[in-house]
Amino acid sequence: MTTLYDPVVYDAATQGVPGDVEFFVRLAMEAHAAGLPVLELACGTGRVAIPIAREGAAIVGLDASPAMLGRAREKAAGLANARWVDGDMRDFDLPERFGLVAIPFRSFQHLLTIEDQMACLACIRRHLAPGGRLAINVFNPDIVRIAGWLTSRKGCLQLTREGGGGWKRWETVEFATATQGLAVTFIDEQIDEGGVVQSRVYRGLKLRYTFRYEMEHLLARAGYAVETLYGDFFGTPFVGTSPEMVWLARVAP
């Protein structure tokens, strides 16, 4: 599993999912109130972990990218309750036991095989304190969009976002039905006032889509009991058209 980003570009282009930071902060403060620390896996540059630390909870952020962790350390300067660990979310060994282990912003989908997913869930289970929670956010797969990637949008380069100062993002998407794998190529362009491209940065991203009952079975197989499934970060019950799956689970008794 290798996903590499320029951390500065990542910060500029990543806003997360509406309501997600506040949601994870609330869960973290519940763990903190119980006297337990928080672990965020695939923490990136600290978009979620740093607000948690600012609220006073002890948090460990783990990521496989030293560059991302370096950026997180810069942003978290002065926060003694935040610790940053270079590690693989499929195989890590930390001294603490946590009241919350969080995988925000669909990072669980970077695990491209069932074996990787199960290894991650097993490792989390070993690190949860009694009564601790697991919180995972993944996409709710959109069948209509997937059909487009397989037909009318197959191989197409599309403009998906525009920002200030002439910034544009283009992307092309390939979906493999046999593996539920998504391969995306992003092209970030910076364009001057005369319409001339000043820079062009290419990034690749691979994800694996996991459907609702597939995820439920993964959690059960790994020894978890599902507490709640939301369709967003505002507590809306999950339905077929929900944009997200937000799972809360505990180790099964």
Question: Above pLDDT 90, what percent of the chain?
Answer: 89
The answer to whether domain 143-208 has CATH 3.30.420.40 is no
Residue 242 has pLDDT above 60, yes or no: yes
Rounded-to-integer distance, Cα 213 and Cα 195, Å? 48
Rounded-to-integer distance, Cα 229 and Cα 61, Å? 24
Question: Which residues face 85 on adjacent strands?
Answer: 62
What does pTM read for this prediction?
0.93
> pLDDT tens, 28-60?
999 999 999 999 999 999 999 999 999 999 999
Which residues have CB under 8 Å from 106's CB, separation 6+? 137, 138, 139, 207
Residue 135 has pLDDT above 50, yes or no: yes
Please give the CATH superfamily to which domain 7-140+210-251 belongs: Vaccinia Virus protein VP39 (3.40.50.150)
> pLDDT tens, 61-95?
999 999 999 999 999 999 999 999 999 999 999 99
Running DSSP on this structure, what letter comes out for residue 88? B
Q: Enumerate the domain spans of the chain.
A: 7-140+210-251, 143-208
pLDDT, average across residues 171-182: 96
Question: Mean pLDDT, the chain, as a whole number?
Answer: 95
